[in-house]
Structures are given as C-alpha cells and as structure tokens.
Amino acid sequence: MADLASMDKIVALCKRRGFIFASSEIYGGIGSTYDYGHYGVLFKQNVKNEWWRAMLSERDDIVALDSAILQHPRTWEASGHLAGFTDPMVDCRTCGQRFRADHLRDLECPRKPSKHPGEGPDCDLTEARDFNLMFETTMGPVKDSGATVYLRPETAQGIFVNFKNVLQFSRKKPPFGIAQIGKSFRNEITPGNFVFRTREFEQMEMEFFVPPGEAPQWYEHWKQARMEWYVELGLRADHLRLREHDADELSHYSSATADVEYLFPIGWSELEGVANRGDFDLKQHAEYSGEKLEYFDPQTKQRYVPHVIEPAAGADRATLAFLVDAYDEENVPGEAGTGDTPSEAQGGEQRTVLKLHPRLAPVKVAVLPLVRKDGQPEIAREIVAALRGRMQTEYDEGGSIGKRYRRQDEIGTPFCVTVDHQTLEDRSVTVRERDSLHQERVAIDELGDVLGARLAAPWRSPKLAVAP
Ligand code: GAP
C-alpha cells in the first residue's frame, strides 16, 4: 500500500516532536519500555477519553472501576495465568538471544547475514519451553516465597474479583458492564515494533455481564460497536478488519474470540480482542475464593452465573494505529500567509502532517502572531487566554510562520489562528485548516464559537479521498 507510513518514520516523528521516546534513554534505554512526552500524553489521553465516552457517557449500562495492580496471588491461580499464561521460548546457544518459538518467521537473528532465527549456518536453537509472562515481585520486607505477588498481566481480573462489590453498589442487573483503563505488565520474550508490543502498557477493558442465553447476541453487538468506534475516530475502514479466531487459537477461557485487526506497517495485526468468556472467570473466582459470584433475578426468582463478553483494547496500540493512519507526507502548494504579508504565496514544499481526528489531536488550536512586534504578540496572547479553558491551545511565536505551520502540521493541530497587520485594524484573524489548508478571516469575538463548532463536527479522514 503506497500510503502506509513506515514504522521508522513514525518513531522518528514521535521522537522529533516529543510524543514518545525510549525510557531511561540516558542509560541506553531498557527492554522496550517507552515514555510519553507532552504531546504523547495529550494524544493518548484523548484516545482514552474517547473510550470512556463510548463506554460511560454514551450509555447507562456500564460503570467504571480502577482496581489495584497488585492483587492477591490467588487471583492468578484462579484465572489460569499462573499455570498457563506462557509463551513458547527458544534460546540460541550461539548468539545467546531468546526468541518466541511461534514467532520465528517474523524475527531476525542478530547475526549477519540477516536471517530468521534457526536459519543461519551457525544458529543452534534449544527445544521450545514454556515461559510465564507474569512479572514477579515480593510484597513487604521479607523475601520469602509467601510474599510473591505479580504485576497484573491484564486489567480484566480486577473486574471479575470486584463483581460482587460492583453489583451491590451500582444497582445494575445483567446485561451490564464494568470498564477499566490501567497499566498491565507482561514479560514479553520478544517485545518490539515500537509501542505495539511492550512489557508495560495500558489496557482499556470492559467486561459485559449478560444472562447466558444472551451471550451470542452481545458478542455480535460488541464486535460491531468496537469496529465502529475506530472508524468514527477516523481509522480508514479498509485498513481495519475483524478476524474470527479458529478453534485452535482460542484461549482456555473463550468459546469465541475475534480480533479487530489494523493494517500496521508490520502487516495486519491485532488491535483489540473481543471475546465470549462464558462463565469461566466468575466460576473460577467463586471456587477459589469461596464467594458466590452470581446474580439473583428477583423477577424470575432465578439465580445464575452471568456470561461475559469482553472487548479488550490496548491504549498504546490504539494510539499507534491512529498515528499510523493519520501520518501523511505531501507536497503543498504555496500557502497564503507564509511570507511577511499574509497574502503572499510561497512556492510549494513538502510537509509531514498528522491528519488526526480533531477530537484526538493533542492540540486543537495554535495561535501565531505573524511578527513579534506591532502589538501582535499581545493580541495573540489575549486570544490564547480566551480559548484556553475551552480547548487545548498553544501559543507559538518562534520562527517563520511557514515553519510554525509545519510544526503544528506534524503534531496534528487542526487549526492555526494567525494574528497579522489586519487584526490590529479590524480585530479579525486568519483561521487556517490543517487538512485543506483553507484560510478564512474570522472575527476574534466569534473565534471560540466557530472553532468549537468545527471541532464538534463529524470528521472523516481526508486520506479516504485518495485512491489506494
Ligand atoms: N483480558 C484479555 C486480554 O488481555 P489480550 O488480547 O491479551 O487480551 C488485549 O490483550 C489488548 O491489549 C491487545 O489487543 C492489545 O491491544 C493490548 N496488548 C496486549 N499485550 C500488549 C503488549 N505487550 N504491548 C502493548 N499492548 C498489548
């Protein structure tokens, strides 16, 4: 696909513009963990806000939860993670590297000439053995075996162990859901592809508890709803697909699972999983804890263990998908306003631009005085102060106006407001639109309402108009 951004370009942009960078970089980084800078934080927060909006604000049958990362170790016995949350691993006796045995075709041996592990003349792989992905630590001052606890490998179990609590206070009855966003940790054997697979990441998971007979229809509902969420936020539908798992791919707890897959630069890969978990989790935790985890329906006088439909997404992976989908490089014709006078057109030039849905863009509007004199910075700061409480606003007076537009394009700012000579005469400014480069004059007094309405308007990716 011609328009696909390469992972290298995405990584470079993220570092250049301070979205995401390697963690502990001054010490050489550490095993595929990443830090989010200012724009990265704002951007990922917008992704999470949109998820909360879809789960909470737009429905009244889901409640929120924020459970602890450290949970009673019995949680992981009951869930099956202690015994079965493993990946097959092989070591190479020659280079000393470890590889996921089921990913060898996607991996590279570190020795030259570059080949898949096991295919080089000197490769000497061990037999595959199971490696548990949970991070272990100890709780309290004594490091004996009874003090072993685990960093949660998924947020889901925190929801199941709180089922009874939530049922009591929320006054909900099935079908209802519990949603949570939080960090999860997996000691992945081969993390990689930037924030696609890391050892510390954020999940956005929702467990939807339903009467057993309704599970199939809710499974269909959530597959559809989750696909629509990505499309509504601008991911191109032809870069998204639903892939139903074959029977031999299903997790131990699942009777049906489908992956929402996105066409990442590494190829079609999982963005989110939607699973029918049946009554596995509640039954397991009931057995291990001795608590009844059931619902008593006062109308039918029936007691049952609800079944669970789970849409499980990754906040970092979704952020990466939105970045990839928005990334564009294009030749733009001369833009009005990039010279000293606002109407002067410059010759065409190349720009890198993030065509992000305005709701996801880290900064909504940048306010730019054309020159750093003649009272323009003062008016620009006055505008910033007026807009600030309504939308994420940034002031920038450094460098030529053309360079400042390019900087805002690269962080995906949908609107630039330019203060120029005319502003001093009639208190109007130029509003420049990121995707179309269209410019128009707007009165300062109307600016907040005009921008607010545009940010709230439906949006579709301008890349959709481009033939593949
Ligand atoms: N509770 C079910 C569950 O955790 P999963 O498919 O293992 O299912 C759900 O994880 C989502 O979490 C994935 O679709 C992905 O978006 C994200 N995810 C999982 N492992 C990840 C990792 N190592 N790095 C980044 N994101 C990850």
Full DSSP string of 221-260: HHHHHHHHHHHHTT--GGGEEEEEPPGGG--TT-SEEEEE
Residues with CB under 6 A from ligand 1: 154, 156, 186, 188, 197-198, 201, 203, 205, 270-273, 310, 312-314, 316-317
CA distances from 455 to 274, 357, 446 (A): 30, 9, 14
Shortest-distance Cα residue to atom 25 of ligand 1: 197
Is 161 or 1 the better-scoring residue by pLDDT?
161
Q: Band the pLDDT of 343: cuts 50, 70, 90.
A: very low
CB 376 within 8 A of CB 424: yes
pLDDT tens column, 374-416: 999 999 999 999 999 999 999 999 999 999 999 999 999 999 9
Q: Given this model, what pLDDT does residue 468 score?
A: 46
pLDDT value at residue 146: 76
pLDDT at 253: 84
Our mutation pick for probing the ligand 1 site, out of 208, 259, 260, 270, counting the most ligand atoms within 8 A of Cβ, is 270
pTM of the full structure: 0.93
Q: Which residue minimizes the CA distance to atom 22 of ligand 1? A: 197
Chain mean pLDDT for the chain: 93
Q: Which two tokens stand for residue 390?
A: 């309504």
Q: What is the pLDDT of residue 338?
A: 61
How far away, in angstroms, is 291 Cα from ligand 1 center?
Answer: 28
Q: What percent of the chain has pLDDT over 70?
A: 95
Q: How far does residue 205's CA lie from ligand 1's centre (Å)?
A: 9
Q: What pLDDT, on the 0 to 100 scale, is given for residue 252? A: 82
Pocket test for ligand 1, best of 161, 194, 317 (most atoms within 8 A of CB): 317
* Residue-level pLDDT at 346: 45
Condensed to tens digits (0 to 9), the pLDDT of residues 220-243 reads 999 999 999 999 999 999 999 999
The terminus-to-terminus CA distance of the chain in angstroms comes to: 7
* pLDDT at residue 336, as a whole number: 63
- Name every residue whose Cβ is closer than 8 Å to that of residue 423 and which is 6 or more positions away in sequence: 376, 379, 429, 444
11-46 pLDDT tens trace: 999 999 999 999 999 999 887 899 999 999 999 999
Ligand 1 atom closest to 156 (CA) = 1
pLDDT-derived band at 466 (thresholds 50, 70, 90) equals: low
Residue predicted with more confidence, 359 or 346: 359
pLDDT in tens, 120-174: 888 999 999 899 999 999 998 887 777 899 999 999 999 999 999 999 999 899 9
Which ranges constitute the DSSP H helices of 17-142?
38-52, 74-79, 81-84
Among the listed residues 434, 431, 435, the one whose alpha carbon sits nearest the alpha carbon of residue 443: 431
